[in-house]
């Protein structure tokens, strides 16, 4: 039998395999691989749980964002309505103030007009009295005095009518 290098390589390979089996290396490798597989499965399960938690957090945050957007819109709408109400209120107050001022001015004008009419009447009466006094002082006879008196009363009445109109 010719023993060549291939034979010795085969024998050493078989011895190597026997040593591996004797020291239970394949079993240890298998256990190590199974352990790695179980660790990887645990990591995958944990990653899926984290993924689900992240999805839940994302959904919650999206709900919060949409809720916040709705609240912001509501706040903006409320602010706009409040601003419109304030503008209307201020506008009404301004118009009421202007109306009161207008009425006050009209009342003042009316009072001034009435005072002017009274002043004119008083002045007319004074003028008539002075005229009568002058006529009495310079009177020639009673008939002329009555005519002048009646004429001056008529003139005073006409003047008063013109002023009161």
Give the pLDDT mean for 66-93: 94
Q: Alpha-carbon Rg of the chain, whole angstroms? A: 61
Bigger pLDDT: 121 vs 69: 69
Q: Percent of the chain beyond pLDDT 90?
A: 56
Which of 152, 120, 123 lies closest to 136 in space, CA to CA? 152
- At 136 the pLDDT is 66
DSSP alpha helices (H): ranges in the chain?
5-22, 25-137, 142-164
Residue-wise pLDDT for 146-162, tens only, equals: 777 788 888 887 877 77
Angle CA 159–111–152, to nearest 5:
15
Running DSSP on this structure, what letter comes out for residue 1?
-
Asked whether 132 and 100 are in contact (CB, 8 A), the reply is: no
Query: What is the C-alpha separation between 32 and 36, in angstroms, rounded?
Result: 6
- At 47 the pLDDT is 96
Query: Residue 164's pLDDT band (boundaries 50, 70, 90)?
Result: low
């Amino acid at each position: 039998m010719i023993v060549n290098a291939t034979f010795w390589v085969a024998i050493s390979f078989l011895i190597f395999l026997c040593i591996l089996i004797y020291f239970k290396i394949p079993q240890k490798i298998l256990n190590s691989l199974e352990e790695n597989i179980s660790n990887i499965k645990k990591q995958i399960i944990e990653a899926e749980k984290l993924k689900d938690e992240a999805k839940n957090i994302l959904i919650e945050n999206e709900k919060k964002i949409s809720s916040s957007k709705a609240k912001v819109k509501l706040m903006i709408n409320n602010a706009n309505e409040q601003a419109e109400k304030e503008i209307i209120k201020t506008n009404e107050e301004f118009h009421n103030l202007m109306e009161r001022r207008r009425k006050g001015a009209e009342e003042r004008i009316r009072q001034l007009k009435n005072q002017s009419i009274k002043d004119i009447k008083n002045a007319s009466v004074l003028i008539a009295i002075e005229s009568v006094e002058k006529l009495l002082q310079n009177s020639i006879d009673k008939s002329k005095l009555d005519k002048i008196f009646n004429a001056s009363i008529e003139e005073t009445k006409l003047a008063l009518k013109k002023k009161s109109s």
